[in-house]
Structure 1
Amino acid sequence: MWADLAGIGRSAESGGYRRYAWTAADAECRAWFREQAEARGLVYEVDRNGNQWAWLGDPAAGDAVVTGSHLDSVPDGGAFDGPLGVVSSFAALDELRGRGVTFNRPVAVANFGDEEGARFGLACTGSRLTAGQLTREAAHALRDADGVRLAQAMEAAGHDPDAIGPDPERLGRIGAFVELHIEQGRALDLTRDRVGIASAIWPHGRWRFDFRGEANHAGTTRLADRRDPMLTYAETVLAARREAELAGAVATFGKVAVEPNGVNAIPSLVRGWLDSRAADQDALDTVVAAVEAAARERAQRDGVDLDVVRESFTPVVEFEHALRDELGKILGGAVPLLGTGAGHDAGILSGSIPTAMLFVRNPTGVSHSPAEFAAEDDCAAGVLALADVLEGLACR
């Protein structure tokens, strides 16, 4: 399975993956998922929001145990973020069938669409729509960098964009969702554990900063006469790092767009996206407020106008303690609990159904990069842990 996925959407230049939602690479990944489902005799379906499902047992029976993750990527992302969870889910089902267990609850593997938000700027679109955290109107308004609307991209890929929206009936049939994921940090490597259990997801969000100045000639405009938004943006980037350190949080400007984007032109617009995360809501609010205050102070000095728009936000997610504790018991009680600053479909769905997460050791801690890596024996340990969890939840 891993070899079959390896070449899909991979850049020959960077070695990273560009599997963006509703593109040709995404279609190949989706075709692979369907092939895996049908090869195992599972009932395959696509829901109204484009999420894929592979069912063992009757989907309508209720109280189902679902596992899975996503197959899309960030720009030049790594091979493991998302796909490891989907591949491990199919492998865990194979393991359980090999054990000859009897399933007392329906089991499904899911591939949630557009988890990374790389193309349309909003993470976990598929699960947000399903859980009613994103309206059809808001989803239809999303556009990619080329101005293509989400609805257009979905329709071009053969999916009905007018059908998207909340799916409480489907969620009502799910008793538990367990997502396996590569750890996006080095906590397990430091403790020499192969597998961990998620305790909570930090609150996090994305904010767009629009700095508007005045375009002019880079060679003939006196420094004193300039309204250069790049200066304001640069000060804001430094402020984000400074304020995050003070609060024990993280803050990153990882995406920027410049107009007119000429080497010999002072920009008229610099648009930067802030990603910030913290262990609690107060710390996150403190960081974002301080970054905006620093930006506005510098903007006034530079003669620059500033607009700040919160594009997405996810509050702290405490995974259901009963399910989390049950995973710990199934796995022997010695599995470490880890908090994480990364968002996941499990976090979005936690407001609607009981969810939990397993993490697999990442020896470098690198994520969202071609250097992302997990050793084969650690991945195998993750599969066995997931199989044990599914057996404990669905077969006893």
Structure 2
Amino acid sequence: MTSPAGGHGRASGATAPGGSPPPSFQDMWRDLAPIGRHAGSGGYRRYAWTGADTECREWFREQAEARGLDYETDRNGNQWAWLGDPLAGDAVVTGSHLDSVPDGGAFDGPLGVVSSFAALDELRRRGAEFTRPLAVTNFGDEEGARFGLACVGSRLAAGQLTAEKARLLRDGDGVPLARAMEAAGHDPGAIGPDHERLARVGAFVELHVEQGRALDLSGDPVGVASAIWPHGRWRFDFRGEANHAGTTRLADRRDPMLTYAETVLAARREAALAGGLATFGKVAVEPNGVNAIPSLVRGWLDARAADQATLDAVVDGVERAAREHAERAGTDLDVVRESFTPVVEFQHALRDEIRRVLGKHGPDGSGRTVPVLGTGAGHDAGILSASVPTAMLFVRNPTGISHSPAEHAAEDDCVAGVIALADVLEGLACS
């Protein structure tokens, strides 16, 4: 990718060490690309508080230093790079996350962080005068790939996750979050609500690759988010009786795998009937032997919908079907809601101001109206919306594929995203 900014001016007296220009978009993308990439799948495994995560955090710190920004890590492990006084209040903040789902794509999260630094460079090139503090941020553990709960860093900061519950989260190997944080050099005793910090933020704007095809279908490189659908994760524990696969008659089996399989099919059926989305994408089996009937099958349901009533209909329908199948198969079922995020309506005033700014400039030079679209994907911006005015920009994804190595955004669209973000930040933070 080429740099969206042709040069790198300085604003408000800020200079990088040595007076040299900071890394371009292309340089940042190239340096970040190898971190956490799995040689076999080509996807990324940047899990919270692992070696890959540490490398990503170091990359972020280097970008801050290359631009002469004040760098800090907050009590919950979120990273901040400041232009201006962070204590002054009414700050404009932009950024996203750098962690990934298992074998995820390159753009989900990192595009927002790289674009934020590039947008700052673009504003300096323009000679913009900043009247409000500006920060770029990397929120930790957004995907929840390791500990099973999404947006841990922002949830802690907003007080939507208690420190006590966070420290008890465990990964697939039984390692508690607290121990993982400590091993990575962060004090788990410090985590908790960060209301004072969030009170100093006047607006948070997150740029993200679109995780769908709405922009591809409309022919627009950039869009503005209207809302995030309500969504959550439910754990279904199907319990039966372990037994020998080669000697136990079919009639004598209490096989939880059958109940699980029926429930997977029911999830697809209920989602289609209600007009929502339901996915069983993770499963754990005990004792997990080829020649053993399982004693436990644990499956995780991800369910989303455009409104709460539809989401409730989907989840209730899946659970009802699961219990009916369990009763017929002689298996037991426990259902636990592990996380839930209600519908997030981004602040209309901020959203409308962003549409006005982008409509005036035209993200692709056309000057046409910028589309507004909802999304079924969760984001840190959604979590923070209860505490801070938030908004999101989406960059076109031509295939709509996300959470996969096939995730993609064209170079020209990435450039348009950076320019759009720079225009928005200029409208919010500059005179």
Q: Give TM-score scaled by structure 2 length.
A: 0.92
**Aligned counterpart for 1:376 among listed residues 411, 420, 426:** 411
**Aligned counterpart for 1:192 among listed residues 211, 214, 219:** 219
RMSD of aligned Cα (Å): 0.4
Partner of 2:351: 324
Residues 27-57 of structure 1: CA deviation (Å, up to 9, x unaligned): 0000000000001000000000000000000
Q: 1:263 aligns to what SS in structure 2?
A: coil
* 1:326 positional shift: 0.4
* 1:103 positional shift: 0.0
In 2, Cα distance between equivalents of 1:85 and 1:230: 40
Partner of 1:180: 207
In 2, Cα distance between equivalents of 1:171 and 1:29: 24
Report the residue type matching 1:359 in the other structure.
F
Report the residue type matching 2:197 in the other structure.
R
In 1, Cα distance between equivalents of 2:289 and 2:185: 38
Matched, 1:52 2:79: yes
Q: 2:401 aligns to what SS in structure 1?
A: coil
In 2, Cα distance between equivalents of 1:190 and 1:306: 42
Alignment length (residue pairs): 396
Give 4+ residue runs of structure 1 displaced > 4 Å after superposition.
none
Q: 1:370 aligns to what SS in structure 2?
A: coil
Matched, 1:345 2:380: yes
Matched, 1:11 2:38: yes
Structure 1: state its 5+ residue gaps. Answer: none
Matched, 1:250 2:285: no
**Aligned counterpart for 1:87 among listed residues 98, 107, 114:** 114
Partner of 2:336: 309
* 1:335 positional shift: 0.4
* 1:386 positional shift: 0.1
* 1:61 positional shift: 0.4
Partner of 1:162: 189
Partner of 2:426: 391
**Aligned counterpart for 1:21 among listed residues 48, 63, 67:** 48
Partner of 2:13: none
Report the residue type matching 1:150 in the other structure.
L
Report the residue type matching 1:311 in the other structure.
E
Partner of 2:105: 78
Q: 2:260 aligns to what SS in structure 1?
A: helix
In 1, Cα distance between equivalents of 2:80 and 2:161: 20
In 2, Cα distance between equivalents of 1:150 and 1:303: 36
Report the residue type matching 2:387 in the other structure.
S
Partner of 1:361: 396
Q: 2:150 aligns to what SS in structure 1?
A: coil
Partner of 1:290: 317
**Aligned counterpart for 1:336 among listed residues 364, 367, 371:** 371
Q: 1:50 aligns to what SS in structure 2?
A: coil
Residues 268-289 of structure 1: CA deviation (Å, up to 9, x unaligned): 0000000000000000001000
In 2, Cα distance between equivalents of 1:324 and 1:6: 31
Structure 1 residues 141-156: aligned runs within 5 Å: 141-156=168-183
Report the residue type matching 1:193 in the other structure.
D
**Aligned counterpart for 2:254 among listed residues 219, 227, 232:** 227
Report the residue type matching 1:371 in the other structure.
A
**Aligned counterpart for 2:143 among listed residues 96, 113, 116:** 116
In 2, Cα distance between equivalents of 1:332 and 1:367: 27
In 2, Cα distance between equivalents of 1:390 and 1:122: 30
Report the residue type matching 1:349 in the other structure.
L
Partner of 2:241: 214
Partner of 2:67: 40
Report the residue type matching 2:38 in the other structure.
S
- Larger mean Cα displacement after TM superposition, 364-373 or 327-336: 327-336
Q: 1:386 aligns to what SS in structure 2?
A: helix
Residues 139-185 of structure 1: CA deviation (Å, up to 9, x unaligned): 01100000000000000000000100000000000000000000000
Q: 1:346 aligns to what SS in structure 2?
A: helix
Q: 1:59 aligns to what SS in structure 2?
A: coil
Residues 311-352 of structure 1: CA deviation (Å, up to 9, x unaligned): 000000000000000000000161000100000000000000
* 1:254 positional shift: 0.1
* 1:355 positional shift: 0.1
Partner of 1:266: 293
In 2, Cα distance between equivalents of 1:197 and 1:394: 19
Q: How high is the sequence identity, in percent, across the aligned residues?
A: 84
Residues 76-129 of structure 1: CA deviation (Å, up to 9, x unaligned): 000000000000000000000000010000000000000000000000000000
In 2, Cα distance between equivalents of 1:165 and 1:325: 33
In 2, Cα distance between equivalents of 1:167 and 1:23: 24
Q: Give TM-score scaled by structure 1 length.
A: 1.00
Residues 256-310 of structure 1: CA deviation (Å, up to 9, x unaligned): 0000000000000000000000000000001000100000000001110100000
Report the residue type matching 1:339 in the other structure.
G
